[in-house]
Amino acid sequence: MADRDFLRWPFLEDAHRDFAARVEAFAATLPAHHDDADAATRDLARALGEAGLLAAAVPEDGRLEVRKLCLARDILARHSGLADFAFAMQGLGTGAITLFGSDELKARVLPGVRAGTTLAAFALSEPEAGSDVAAMATTATRDGEHWVLDGEKTWISNGGIAGSYVVFARSGEAPGARGLSCFWVPGEAMRVVERIHTAAPHPLARLALDGVRVPDAHRIGVPGDGFRIAMSVLDVFRSTVGAAALGFARRGLDLLLKRATTRRLFGAPLFEQGQVQAAIADAAMDVEASALLVYRAAWLKDQGTPRVSREASMAKLHATEAAFRVADAAAQFHGGLGVVAGSAPELLTREVRALRVYEGASEIQRVVIARAERDRRAG
């Protein structure tokens, strides 16, 4: 598209531009709306695998390149929110194995997820432990060469249809967040308590672990290392949530510009109204600022910066809030059409909303940023 000039920024290299072109060609064939979210997610994951694009989310060499992840989510979200979801969950759901898993576990789990024939899930949140991971109640009790897992997880994306789950549980090596461990659990061991239906449909569920026995060989990392593993995975993928929001914002700006230049009001294009020009200007600035924050955070991570929590939180916070503003403007200037169920502006406003909540709500990102600023200045 004509507005892809950011691909020439110094954050990106020729390999990233080539990858972006492959994703763009794939995304151009996708419908924006899917009637059956479960079936569509399966189909999209398989198509992404056949196109070789899931190799960026589930790399064979174990190196998660955040700039490629961000490019894929930026482009896919602009075309299809569910395609972005299918791509992202294959990476998030196996990130702990990619980064910390044994060679045996990698060989067992990753090829199917990379091919898109098996769906993956990241089971961290619980009914009383969302952003407050230290409040986790699911337990992992050692029993010889096995662990026994009991508890509930909720708001689990791909819940109920995934064949592979990374599960976090309290193993008790220390109080609070220091006493968590990480395990791989096959899909058939997870009991579906309820499927959760959201404004923008995608597979989501509340799940139970009822005395699930997990071999010690399926533990990821050392006992008590679960919190560090979870935060390391989120440190990689939080910037990519901002990238998805950026893609949604680009779609909103497209809708806003098309409406302003094709709709006539009082004998002149809607674009001639000053308030419409102001909305377009604000949307364009939001898109540009989000892109700078997202690709800066991704570049820093790819350069080997140990922790990019501050930068990733800035990218996620700004991009998701900006996308919400842009989507709202697009709906507003479509008038009645902006709230017609299934219309492009209405679909976009539903797709954008969840990004301000998952992988750390906007309020939590502000806490992370504020603490980082305090610590930087104190140090």
- Please list the active-site residues: 359
Rounded (10°) angle between helices 309-332 and 344-353:
150
Rounded distance between C-alpha atoms, residue 290 and residue 101, angstroms:
33
Quick count: other Cβ atoms within 10 Å of Cβ 229?
23
What is the rounded radius of gyration, in angstroms, for the C-alpha atoms of the chain?
21
Per the CB < 8 A criterion, the answer to whether 320 and 366 are in contact is: no
> What's the token pair of residue 372?
């980082």
> What's the token pair of residue 367?
């806490």
- Alpha helices, DSSP H, located in 176-225: none
- Alpha helices, DSSP H, located in the chain: 14-27, 37-50, 66-79, 81-92, 95-100, 103-115, 226-262, 274-302, 309-332, 344-353, 362-378
Tokens 């968590």 correspond to: 180
Per the CB < 8 A criterion, the answer to whether 74 and 54 are in contact is: no
